[in-house]
Chain A
Amino acid sequence: GENVEQHPSTLSVQEGDSAVIKCTYSDSASNYFPWYKQELGKRPQLIIDIRSNVGEKKDQRIAVTLNKTAKHFSLHITETQPEDSAVYFCAASYSGNTPLVFGKGTRLSVIA
């Protein structure tokens, strides 16, 4: 089955700097890759996703890139703000018909 590895487990950046979180997946059939943000004590919420027919997707300060050949995808947050502090999870699935397989999460701290 699918296995998703996520790095780093913790990340501290200065406010205004960029943050990058990387994930690798094992099943080449996977074609849907969402990223979730979970604030302390809250539910995970989708922030951006990418499908395998696209190499990059942007939404304001957030971008995701996908390298199908290397089987890895990354989350990029630019101009980080204190409210970006949270745990971020990557996930992968095949056509969404199989359950999402989540990475173990990255705790991002943005220091003002």
Chain B
Amino acid sequence: NAGVTQTPKFRILKIGQSMTLQCTQDMNHNYMYWYRQDPGMGLKLIYYSVGAGITDKGEVPNGYNVSRSTTEDFPLRLELAAPSQTSVYFCASRTSAPGETQYFGPGTRLLVL
């Protein structure tokens, strides 16, 4: 299993541009999450999904959108990028069984200039 994969690894965006961060997992996990981690800071939940077709907002959803059309994929869309969205973005997934391990992807480093 590849686990949780994310693309791209690094991206530079200009203010006002848009992009989609890709996340795929091959573990048949129902639950998927998007976090952002600012330099030297903790993990903030952006959006999450408990299954295909179901998404919900986390702590910091403004400026982002998600979709979950398949179990495997959970893309994060940034519209009108702003410098405040400069961060490292981590995708994560786990099964729906209570207390199961949450696995993180390798992250996407985004710089908005």
Q: Interface residues, chain A, CB within 8 Å of chain B?
A: 31-32, 34, 42-46, 49, 51, 89, 95-97, 99-100, 102-105
Chain B residues within 8 Å of A89, by CB: 42-43
Chain A residues within 8 Å of B100, by CB: 96
Q: How far is the CB of B98 from chain A (nearest CB, A)?
A: 4
User: Would you give the 0/1 interface string for B46-76, flagging 1 where the beta carbon is closer than 8 Å to chain A?
Assistant: 0010100000001000000000000000000
B42 x A96 contact (CB < 8 A): no
Q: Interface residues, chain B, CB within 8 Å of chain A?
A: 33, 41-43, 45, 48, 50, 58, 90, 94, 96-107
Do A95 and B101 contact each other (CB < 8 Å), given the known contacts A102-B42, A104-B41? no
Do A96 and B94 contact each other (CB < 8 Å), given the known contacts A44-B43, A89-B42? yes
| CA–CA, A45 and B103, complex, Å | 7
Do A99 and B58 contact each other (CB < 8 Å), given the known contacts A43-B106, A44-B104, A46-B101? yes
Q: Which residue of chain B is the closest to A103 with respect to CB atoms?
A: B42
